[in-house]
Structure 1
Amino acid sequence: EPAFSMPARWIEPADKQRAELAGCTVVDPTSVLITHLGEIARRYAHEQLSREDLQRLIDKVRDSAPTVVDELIPNVITMGTLHRVLTLLLEEHVPINNLTRILESLAQHAAGTKDPLELAERVRQDIGRAICDRFRDPQGRFHAIVLDPRLEHYLRQAVKGNVLAIDPGQIEQLLNRVANEWRKATLRGQEVALLADSAIRRILRHTLARALPDLAVIAYQEVPTDMILEPVAILKLEDIVGRHQPAQNNQTTAANAAANLPGSIPAAA
């Protein structure tokens, strides 16, 4: 299946009823094409946002919130910085339709930094509900793959600048485990994200993005407090580094992971 890489097979129209009776989800070719085109547009939206497009968006916001725009641009941040921040958000499929809220967030944080990467992370935390809503089921549960505290601490200690400095074999193990759990959840019809502390969220996303471009990596700090965490899998340290590593506490449960919301994960002693 082209949009979500799920197992699928073309069938003749005459076989539709038999496939449905067998428990298959049957989708007509037009819907498949529309979905596929929509996914392509979403995946490459960050490449389509031009400076002219941005100016039109800003002009539209100015009609309803002139003070926000006039106080922020260009006195606090330049159009170039704003364009880069929005591009970073779109690159990870973060909606920017509430541009007024994004500008208000930038106005709050731009005094402390002009780095687009840092500003994008701050904005993400301020618009966390918009990021997380797609992963919530009708009961309000937020489905996610989580890292146990020892693995999270191990990865945090391995961050060197913009690089996750661990053995390539361990990166491959991490990638394989995340991909396996993500695909299993997708086959169950669940939208899931990978949760991590904000200190490693961006670098973890960068590490996994080439192989898993559609996987959302979300910081705990972005998850609204009223969302109920429903872990679909918990990745442990020994899953990545091997079972020969010393283990001080292997008893990580879904309750442990849920208790970490919405703040950072405690490091193992």
Structure 2
Amino acid sequence: VTAPVTEAAEASWEDVAQVDVLGLEVGYRLIPLVDKAQDGDLLRRIKGIRKKFTQDMGFLPPAVHIRDNLDLPPSAYRITLKGAEIGMAEAHAQQLLAINPGNVSGTVPGTPTKDPAFGLPAIWIDTALREQAQAMGYTVVDAGTVVATHMSHLIQQNAAELLGRQELQQLLDHLGKLAPKLVEGLIPDLLPLTTVQKVMQNLLDEGMHIRDMRSILETLAEHAPKTQDASVLTALVRVALGPAIVQQFYPQAQELQVIGMDKELEYVLGQALQAGGSAIEPGLANTLLNETRVATEKQERLGLPTVLLVPGGIRDLLARFLKRALPQLKVISQEEVPGFKTIRVTSMVGGRA
């Protein structure tokens, strides 16, 4: 007797697995951190991170999808963005992480490692050593805090990627209820949604928030009839947001202590741009990078903000060029600085301060 043939089900759209925008995968030893039945409060902390991000950055990011992954080492966790890994580390649920902020008076027994969010030297220690480590100057946190802080840091770093068309549309819909005239007539009459999204992403990519949507949309509406170029529009929006940009880096200062650039070097870069180039000639690029690194390190030694002040015409080029090598450096244009602020050059690129 031949066995009946069971016909395989046809493939359908239901078989297409959607990639989570934000994901957290945990090894089996970290499951207690995300299991409410075992008093795991990582879910609550991640909700808190998402709420704080929304308040700080000005839009609601996608929810974090959490799941266990038995292919990971037991104490490992992995943070993903659109299916790609953006962070991976180990956390020990039964231990504490003692982080050395740079001024500890001794060492404690444990497993040396690095704090996954900021790369500071750290040690996984037994819970009984908490007070001893704190007395020596260590910052002591539990495994849930380690994962949550790492997640928070990576979400901030990748804010631009998290503002998809859906998130932007939700933001505009919300804004439309509060200030309908602000949104009406801009999209799609003056600008397509994709251009507005690109401007917002450009701002987020340089660590800026988009809370002041009134100024952003009013500036776009004013200049959209003259240009549809997202880079040009971003520069115009940055000028409108100038006071907020400066306040972000100099919260209370009347005098801005900045890194300046030699006039001759500014001229050479400006000429290169006018000649139609969007990249910097290799020899000049090397010198520029080395000199900027030295100036940035000097600012850090002086305990000053690492902010480079340049003419508006070359700001975008320099910001893009320097971002990968010197992520801590912020590049602002002279046009973004409010007139009532005074400027003092404390370090110099291409010359002497």
Equivalents in 1 of 2:169, 2:236: separation in Å?
Answer: 22
Higher mean displacement: 9-18 or 77-86:
9-18
Query: What is aligned with 1:197?
Result: 311
Query: Is the CA contact 1:95–1:131 (under 8 Å) kept in the aligned structure 2?
Result: no
Cα gap change, 1:232 to 1:80, in 2 (>3 Å) = same
Equivalents in 2 of 1:208, 1:105: separation in Å?
Answer: 27
Equivalents in 2 of 1:193, 1:36: separation in Å?
Answer: 25
1:133 has 2:247 as partner: yes
Higher helix share: 1
1:1-269 to structure 2, matched below 5 A, reads: 8-10=120-122, 14-19=132-137, 27-29=139-141, 36-159=150-273, 160-166=275-281, 168-236=282-350
Runs of 5+ consecutive residues of structure 1 not aligned to the other structure = 20-25, 238-251, 254-269
Query: Is the CA contact 1:144–1:192 (under 8 Å) kept in the aligned structure 2?
Result: yes
Tell me the percent identity: 32
Give 1 or 2 for the bigger CA radius of gyration. 2
Cα gap change, 1:182 to 1:32, in 2 (>3 Å) = farther
Cα gap change, 1:16 to 1:177, in 2 (>3 Å) = farther
Give the letter aligned to residue 173 of structure 1.
T
How high is the TM-score relative to the length of structure 2?
Answer: 0.59
Residue 66 of structure 1: how far off its partner (Å): 0.6
Give the letter aligned to residue 320 of structure 2.
H
Superposed CA RMSD = 2.5
Cα gap change, 1:48 to 1:77, in 2 (>3 Å) = same
Give the letter aligned to residue 96 of structure 1.
I
Runs of 5+ consecutive residues of structure 2 not aligned to the other structure = 1-114
Secondary structure of 2:184's counterpart equals helix
